[in-house]
Structure 1
Amino acid sequence: MGVEYIYFVQTNTLDRRNRTLTIEAHNESFSSRVVIHEKCRYSVHPENSDWTCFEQTASLDVKSFFGFESNVEKIAMKQYSQNISKGKEIIEYFIEELRKEGMTWVPRWQEPEPSPSSKPKLTITHADKMGNDSGEDSERERCSTGESQEMQLGASAYNILAVEKVNLSDENNKVEAEYIKRCLGDLTPLQESRLIQLKKWVAELQKGKVPSDTCLLRFLRARDFNIEKAREMLSHSLIWRKKNQIDKTMNQYQAPQVLQDYFPGGWHHQDKESRPLYLLRLGQMDVKGLVKSVGEEGLLKHTLHICEEGLRLTEEATATQGRPITTWTLLVDLEGLNMRHLWRPGIRTLLKIIEIVEANYPETMSCVLIIRAPRVFPILWTLVSTFIDDNTRSKFLFYGGNDYQGTGGLVDYMPKENIPDFLGGECKTIVQEGGLVPKSMYQPGEDVDPARHHLPLSDQSIYRSISLARGQVHEVMIQIEETGAVICWDFDVMKNDVCFSVLRTRIPLTPRPDPPQSPSGAMGVIDAVMGSDDQHRSAIDKTWREGHDYFRVEPQLVCHDGESIQGSHVTSHTGTYLLQWRYHESTQHTSPLDIIDSITAPKAKIMFYYETLSSADYRGSMTSLQSCQSGFSSLSSNTNKSATSSCPSR
């Protein structure tokens, strides 16, 4: 926060009768922007009264952080996870201090004789070492406390003692040993107990409709068999599936033709443990082309279909092999990965898809093999890894260059005869090679509007589509309220040529109202061509002088048919800025016949996206890159030029 101290208010409650200690704290500093509420609870272990359970939960609510509230929450979650071990160090420190004082045993609290005037006291004493009857028990408490220490962000905590305890000696609650061995794998008695508890709770909630034991185990494993955290995670997932009609959507799903032709991923035999194997040639993926062709929702649906297909294949493998196979393996080939993959809208889409998959398909992957990682990969990994669960992140294995070949490489994870030919193996694969998506397959902005789908990833469409005839101009008016803010843009020229400029006016402008419609519902053809309507006329008055009334803050750029342009500008003044696109004409025409020619002349068409970042957000953002034209390795001949930018080096 940039200050030396942050003040918190803490409340400690010791319940001697129920043998619990609860510590709650919330911040007093910066509470108008960020509210942090933390709760720690010590309680008696439900199966061994000589052990102490320690639960730590926290909620973080970012009220205002310059439009990056969600990102800040996830970064804070990661930081909190890293710092949580300090709590264990503090506990160990005070236990050691008590030992130095000769205190290795504390008698259990006894109910005092009833007295009309007696009242419970809320005080903290050395009795917070409850449940320990000897020095050995004290040591056991310390180890148990450290091992069971967990945290949960953004969700309410449950009382673990409120869960009905399952008696495993009851024949009705036993899980058949043969069934466990064949379908679920090795489970300890405690894990089996937690599975039965979760299954019983879901049955009551779902009115008899219970997910499979394999599904329940995935959520339990994702939360280290903490029954309450698994129950909460599963509850959110079931609500999500019902709200978005996932089962119905996936049953009816059919991949669009553009994904069938240009999505470089597919299932490919099995790994050495007979788990399904999925190949993804990420380095050959045209992320921008796919987003502009099927939208964020199209990529999300395709990803969910892959996850559902993976679950189905693991069930088939379990039945075929006669042993539990509950996960699948992902092999990601990064050959061809370059800076174009750091395209900001693409990264945003990727992070949202990861968030949804992590929350609803936990513990479905056995490992992720990353091969042929180029030098740019650490940048992409830095951006993405923060949003991946720690358990999942630990399953990633990385190979740079040709390290994946030979001993210690892919042969350790997949049969030699299954290594695909594009990785030096002999096995043919039907996985598409990817490549540039033809711009003819791009959809207008309104056709990829997420509001028309059941799985909203964002509140508005990423791209807008406009057409320009001769003499027409289209402008986006942006009001800048702080110097140092960054204007970012990204657009594709779909047809003909356009001129692009970034302008600043000396005096602030107000947005124009929508023009009134004519009785026929359309403008006259001549007026539209000559740019008489406000939507195709510049806000720069014809009497204004450049350098006095308005300023060109970026040099004019001529953009040709088929080019993709990305750029950014660091503002040095407050006021009105204009992103301007004009129909480009190579020569000036003055003949009256030009008016007639312009009626039938083909229009220019662009798809564009823009956003404004505050100065504070830009300084910490790796995705706010200097202007550059996007490329696709050596496959694109239109993307080797350089766009201009006034971005300073940072």
Structure 2
Amino acid sequence: MVQKYQSPVRVYKHPFELVMAAYERRFPTCHLIPMFVDSDVISEETSEDRSFHKIERRCKLDVDAPRLLKRIAGVDYVYFIQKNSLNHRERTLHIESHNETFSNRVIIHELCCYSVHPENEEWTCFEQSASLDIKSFFGFESTVEKIAMKQYASSIKKGKEIIEYYLRELEEEGITYVPRWSPCPPSPTKPVVPVVIPALPITPTISIEAPPESVNEIQVCKEGNKLDADYIKRYLGDLTPLQESCLIRLRRWLQETHKGKIPKDEHILRFLRARDFNIDKAREILCQSLTWRKQHQVDYLLDTWSSPQVLHDYYTGGWHHHDKDGRPLYILRLGHMDTKGLVRALGEESLLRHVLSINEEGLRRCEENTKVFGRPISCWTCLVDLEGLNMRHLWRPGVKALLRIIEVVEANYPETLGRLLILRAPRVFPVLWTLVSPFIDENTRKKFLIYAGNDYQGPGGLVDYIDKEIIPDFLGGECMCEVPEGGLVPKSLYRTAEELENDEIRLWTETIYQSASIFKGAPHELLIEIIDASSVITWDFDVCKGDVIFNIYHSKRAPQPPRKDPLATHGITSPAGNNVQLIDKSWLLGQDYSMVESPLTCKEGESVQGSHVTRWPGFYILQWRFHSMPACATTNLPRVDDVLATLQVSSHKCKVMYYTEVLGSEDFSKSLFIYLYTCTSFHITCKHFTS
């Protein structure tokens, strides 16, 4: 497996020429890097006007590997080839390195670039990327990979410190300014000889982003946007170089697949932490969560959700100041809550919506506290008072609702709980804990602190985590807490099962998106009738599962009513029950209907937006169909694993979530103008922030 690394943009607040003077002091050896033993110049070129300098070095490294491994490999030192291309005219230094030792077994490739900061020409930016591919290494592939990544991470961390060390050394020697390169005046006695300067790639513009205004704001980003190291430290916290790399790579993948619309960096980082920075696992659960948020419009929940009065009166939870770490503090008096009454009066879905709004509010408060305290605050503290908890709280539908809420929160709000303080746990608590603990992630369970009786009042108790002056009065403190005291919900507020079911359907159908299942040989098709030519069909869809091919067709005549799900003819009911087919098998492409857009292959997890300007009136059919695995082109026999994987994929259904709208050409032009204006305003705001 190829290991990759991508650095954030690191900024030296010094001119490019001074940074280059500091960089050159690293050679031929550097006492700050003990493993860097020596370096020899292999070749060196300088253009006639001295604007371009290229140098190639052979670097000798003493890798910190076990002696046994060195003996098996038969080497004491590892050699690397480093090529530096310094362009004084463009003020860039491009560095390319690769290993010479064991190049047939291990491939290490590194690219670095020093360039001028796009917003301040007196500052210098540094970027770095690398890849490690171990083909074979005497059976020690895993060991070599761990050693290589460990040493590489260590050298990355030292990189900036080394440049800053030599910058201070230059300053102590009185060197605080190095003049920029300028063309030499032509000599009067010699003819001017034209010099061809090799074209070097110019570093793309770096837009260092300001923190967004709201927690769920979708950022409109350009593909070239990059994260600044200082921004990461200020708003996201101290990350190791490899953790920074995971964040940047996952963020870049989201930019590419979600067409520029991505969640905030804090949001991405939570999912990475939840999967110990395994990019593949984090990407999977993040994409599922983004689809869920989009389908149920969770991003707009705080603006659209209005809690019923019964929740205001009987839901015993609320926000209360913050803990000693600056985390927002939420208090829940679960023992005083009539869970049965709330479920009977509101239903499971309304309670879930309310808990989701609490989590969204928690994210917003974390962002506010980050600004107030001047350090990253990405999670909150929850205090649960269990005084009064008894067997009536173990009412089966109530426990079922609680488990559903835990499941949804765990899947979509990982690493948002910093600490859970459970106070005054009664004897019945172990029964409840046995029921709910299997549904709670192991990392989350480690954050639970449980106190029985009045144990929380002594050393190691509540005062270790919450300032004494904000401890609620019902816990022996002097601070008035506005959390409702609860009590029994009047039975007059109970609703019938039919009323609750209708309300739940209404809650979860309040979305502009529809979902559809797609099977092999059973595409999903959507009919749009166009009266006026030059109308605009717009679409926005997410591929939730599997790979699909998206097509748009036009027909002068209306298709027949939708056929039934083909699976039903075999006595099998489609799990989703929302697969619609319109194009009859007797229709001929080019005769009964025509293709108006080139087919678009969409991978699982992709978010696709687009539009089509209609040329003729009639009937347009949007089609999503199953994308089959390509046939094996090689003559070699396929591996068993490949066959099993193909069978597994081919037998699996696909799923999409989509929204379409038809606009008049005038309305489309206006909406496009507003979109472009918004993007431009956002970019200007970011540039103003970085200044």
The TM-score bracket by the shorter chain reads 0.3 to 0.5
TM-score normalised by length of structure 1: 0.46
